[in-house]
Amino acid sequence: MPELFGNTSGLSPLAIQKLERIYRRRVPLDTIASAELIRSLSEASRESARQVGALVHRSGQVDYVIVGDATRLMLPNVGRLRSASGRFRGLRLVHTHLHGEALTHDDLVDLVRLRLDLVAALQMGATGDVRSVSYAYNVPAQPQEKPYRVIGPVPAGQLDEDFGQLMTALESEFAKRARTREVASEGRAILVQVGDKGRKDAIARMDTSLRELRELSRTAGVTVVDAVVQVRDGIDPRYVLGRGKLDELIVRAVGLDASLLIFDNNLTPTQASTIARQTDLKVVDRTQLILDIFAQRAQSRDGKLQVELAQLKYALPRLSQKDDSLSRLTGGIGGRGPGETKLEIGKRRARERVTHLETQLKKLAEQRRQRRQRRHRNAVPIVAIVGYTNAGKSTLLNTLTGADVLAEDKLFATLDPRSRRLRFPEEREVVLTDTVGLIRDMPKDLYAAFRATFEEASDADLILQVVDASDHDRDQHIQTTEEVLEDLGLLPVPRLLVFNKADLLTPGEGRRLVLGRNNAIVISATERETARPLLERMAAMLAERWAAAAMVPEYDAGEEEVEPREDGGEDPAGSLHTLEDLLAASGRRARPSARLN
């Protein structure tokens, strides 16, 4: 027997008979709906007193017959969309409207979300006859335009649109636009932000957070095509934003050819899966975006283990939302009886991997502790460079020491600590250590995993707190950094506030920044001559440390252990050799170490 979909309860035998008869209709490719199909749909709708629809394949066969209620239809799961660029689903929806109403908002959302070929509403009169037809189809659109076109109402007897030619022309236009559209390495995304109206500073915080989310997306390789912001009395427990706004978001995503939604809010597993099912788009929240950036940029064994640990802890509560097939019982020998479901096996293996990673990280933490002890015996002062992400920490390290560590205008360009020696006059020297950048509301699991990285600053004699002076949110960045330093118990360590990117400030703004701050200085890390005052302040603050170091017997730095790489070599980022040694090991000519004349 042919299957009927939707609201089939309470139907009379005659209504069921008329509904099943719809499957026998064949619709030519050159018409939207044949007279026979229109008649069958209207008869079934009159008999059932409900909306009735048919999903018609381009071959002319009716694939689905759907029954709704008096005002709407609920479409069945019609499978995955064909992946070829510019293609539609190959199905058109023809359905009745009992009260003569035109296409509804739900009709248009289904058209766009499911990439249907076309949606047609048969507008019935009081006598139950189809008087007119309204229909809509997807069209290539500019960002501010609607991605569909509505035609009608057209008298039912004058429905003469050549459906086959229309689809051929539309798919050709969409394919042409896809060929000329910018290709993003990680996809095209719409940013979504939902704020709480009850907070006094909601608007200001949202503006700041959205700028940061845009930078995170750029760092991850995503092309941002739009941003949707909504301020509500409260976060919707299912969809985060309102249902109407979600429907609007679906339409905009299709019009902009976006395949990804990036939420600034951290989503619960249920929210993420519900939104993904409703929109047919990939859904990523802020935490997942940061984890992805870390996964792209981790280089050392330590860094890769830390990222994997954070990802597993994030993914564990979301495993049950990934795929319904994971809940099935395993089959075959050993899988019969109560057994374990695939989901339970997956979770158990993930927990075992978490335990293994935590064990490995503890061993690496012990190795780092031993290296720090050797540094302490060597009596060379340690200066840690900390600060908000993309404040210019790696650039400052390169400028002061002549090193060539990676420095990019992107968030989290540095994930692994980098240590280099900096020589001062009278054979005095320090070890400069660059650390991973900080960010507001850093994911809990990620911070816990990378907490060991910040241990590099735990034995520091001086902390250079680098701040992007050109950023309007610099005060918030300073607060975020100081909160982390307090959490690590590093606030008592002498600290020098370094306002970087002075070249981007207006005249006099730099002087205003340091006004009233005793341990603050303004520099431009890209211009080495501006670093002279910084070196002088560092020398003055480390004078006592050098004096104490002169009383300690010299320690052979050649015995310093370096951090092993996965390929069995040595990672100079973890060593404390001089800059000349590091450059010689890489086969380059050594440049002179930075000196304060």
| pLDDT one-digit tens code per residue, 96-107 | 999 999 999 999
Give the predicted TM-score (pTM) of the model: 0.72
Under 8 Å between Cβ of 54 and 38: no
How buried is residue 84: exposed, middle or buried, by Cβ count under 10 Å (0-12/13-18/19+)? exposed
595's enclosing H/E stretch is none
* Contacts (Cβ under 8 Å, ≥6 apart) of 17: none
Domain range summary for the chain, segments of one domain joined by +? 4-180, 188-291, 294-330+339-359, 374-585
Query: 382-387 and 570-571: which strand pairing?
Result: unpaired
Q: 375: how many CB neighbours lie within 10 A of its CB? A: 20
Under 8 Å between Cβ of 534 and 500: no
301's enclosing H/E stretch is helix 301-315
* CA 526/CA 466 separation, integer angstroms: 14
Under 8 Å between Cβ of 217 and 285: no
> Whats the size of the chain, residue-wise?
597
Query: 62-67 and 52-57: which strand pairing?
Result: antiparallel
User: Taking the mean position of all CA atoms in its chain, how far away is CA 130?
Assistant: 48
Closest by Cα among 55, 54, 48, 57 to 29? 57
Dmax (CA) of the chain: 105
Beta bridge partners of 57: 91
Q: How is residue 202 written in tokens? A: 């909601």
* CA 197/CA 183 separation, integer angstroms: 37
Q: Do domains 188-291 and 374-585 have the same CATH topology?
A: yes
Pick the CATH number of 374-585 from 3.30.450.40, 3.40.50.300, 3.40.50.960, 3.40.50.740: 3.40.50.300
Phi and psi based region of residue 222 (left: phi greater than 0; alpha: psi -120 to 50; beta: remaining): beta
**Digitized pLDDT (tens) for each residue of the chain, 597 residues in all:** 689 999 999 999 999 999 999 999 999 999 999 999 999 999 999 999 999 999 999 999 999 999 999 988 988 888 655 544 557 889 999 999 999 999 999 999 899 888 899 999 999 988 889 999 999 999 887 767 788 999 989 998 888 889 999 999 998 888 887 666 655 556 789 999 988 776 666 666 788 888 889 988 888 888 898 898 888 888 888 899 888 889 888 888 887 888 899 999 888 888 988 898 888 888 998 888 888 888 887 777 777 888 888 888 888 877 765 544 444 444 433 334 444 566 677 777 888 888 888 888 888 778 777 776 776 666 788 898 998 888 888 888 888 887 776 666 666 666 666 788 888 887 788 888 888 788 877 767 666 656 656 766 777 889 999 999 998 888 889 998 888 888 878 888 899 999 999 888 888 888 888 888 888 999 998 888 888 889 999 998 988 877 766 665 554 443 333 344 343 333 433 333 333 333 333 333 333 344 333
Phi and psi based region of residue 364 (left: phi greater than 0; alpha: psi -120 to 50; beta: remaining): alpha
pLDDT digits (tens, 9 = 90+) for 270-294: 898 889 888 888 899 888 888 888 8
Under 8 Å between Cβ of 189 and 213: no
* CA 280/CA 271 separation, integer angstroms: 14
Second CATH level (architecture) for the domain 188-291: 3-Layer(aba) Sandwich (3.40)
Task: Calculate the alpha carbon distances from 545 to 375, 376, 428 in Å.
Answer: 14, 12, 11
